[in-house]
Amino acid sequence: MGEAIVVGGGIGGLAAAVALDRIGWRATVLERTPVLGEIGAGMSQAPNALRALDELGVGEPARSAGVPTCAAGNVRTPDGRYLQRARPGDPTAMLAFHRADLHRVLLDATPDGWVRTGAEVTGLRQEAGRVTVVAGGDELTADLLVAADGIRSTARRLLWPDAPPPRFLGRTAWLGIADVDGLPGSMTLGPGGYFLIHPVARGRAYWAHVTTESRPDVRFDDEKAEVTRRIGSWHDPIPELIDRTPPGSVIHIDIHDLDPLPTYVRGRVALLGDAAHAMSPDRGQGAGQSLEDAVVLAAALATEPTVEAALHRYDTGRRPRTQATALGARKDGARTTSRAAYRALTTMIRLMPAALWRRSIAPDGNATWRWQPPRLPARA
């Protein structure tokens, strides 16, 4: 069995560690922040991601940490009208999480002693089938490096020097967690932006307002006041949600993604998660695809005769799906935040027969969600 270094202790890096443990590899996870955890607000996970979590052996705790959300079933306009409405008791394919809760599920499944915090990787080299990283004052060597160090990946910069930097997509988002219980989840489409609500654990709700912005890094002294100014007159419970979000906790981020890379593998280094294919959040798939990456990588390592063959299978298997998802999310985000397309989009959703809409958001409603994981060997 082999030994790996995983760079990054986010959802992708921890999923990789758990997957490597499942196949009997050892790993060291190097995370640059001094304290491990997910900052940020919430997220949803679709059936494909939930199947990946099952295969990682954490399906049960993940399902306990998540809350069913009908965000895709309740589509509204800013005056509160429903373009589509979920019926009470309708099954929903999606679970919503506070980010920290999903991260904790993966951390709990990571073997003790594998994660080193305060360990920023600044250099790497490869020779004779081994890869060595420089982190702080230390050097570590292993058979494989999994670079799960996010959209601004150091490993990608070092090994793919010609790859373009993250692309600003002309969109920006405010996010928050409010102490508001009992919401079913919804998506409100306004001209030039949308507002998403997911219920999350412990009686709270995650919200996100995504809208267009001509340049990145536009910031406001009071971000909560700014988002209230923009959409504080939208339908209930939007004003209440913003109001009940602690002022300092409103997050404002610009939306970037990555142009498709020609390969996710260089020698014994594999990019995983956002380091490989950061995508716009509009399909709710970024972290889900990193969970899939982890399962596919481990399955290839468990079955191919060499690490090289496994990495080749990982690369050729993952690139088409993740890059198609990223390009799809880029387009979806442009459409749902377009002022020019607003009337056509809302009319199209309103006129779609409810049964057809429900079908499209059923667990097997689209090709991305239908993904089935490869089997990892049963734990001894």
Ligand X SMILES: Cc1cc2nc3c(=O)[nH]c(=O)nc-3n(C[C@H](O)[C@H](O)[C@H](O)COP(=O)(O)OP(=O)(O)OC[C@H]3O[C@@H](n4cnc5c(N)ncnc54)[C@H](O)[C@@H]3O)c2cc1C
Binding residues for ligand X, rule: CB under 6 A, are 7-13, 30-33, 43-45, 120-121, 148-150, 154, 173, 175, 208, 253, 273-274, 281, 284-288, 290
| Shortest distance, position 99 Cβ to ligand X, whole Å | 7
Tell how strand 130-135 and strand 121-127 pair up. antiparallel
- Closest to ligand X by CB, 7 vs 310, is 7
Least Cβ distance, residue 226 to ligand X (angstroms): 16
Number of H helices, E strands in the chain: 12, 19
N-terminal to C-terminal alpha carbon distance within the chain: 14
Given the complex with ligand X, which of 38 and 89 has the nearer CB atom?
38
Say which DSSP state 156 is in: H
Q: Which is nearer to ligand X, 80 or 165 (CB)?
A: 165
For residue 376, the minimal CB distance to ligand X (Å) is: 19
- 198 with 205: CB under 8 angstroms? yes
Between 59 and 304, CB nearer to ligand X = 59
| Residue found under tokens 């998540």 | 66
CB closer to ligand X, 174 vs 234: 174
| Separation CA 298–CA 154 (nearest Å) | 23
Least distance from C-beta 49 to ligand X, angstroms? 6
Phi-psi region of 226 (alpha: psi -120 to 50; beta: other; left: phi over 0): alpha
Min. distance of Cβ 292 from ligand X in angstroms?
10
Give kind and range of the element (H or E) at residue 300: helix 286-303
The dihedrals phi and psi of 171, each to the nearest 5 degrees, come to -135, 150
When the beta carbons of 59 and 303 are compared against ligand X, the nearer one is: 59
**Smallest gap from residue 38 Cβ to ligand X (A):** 7
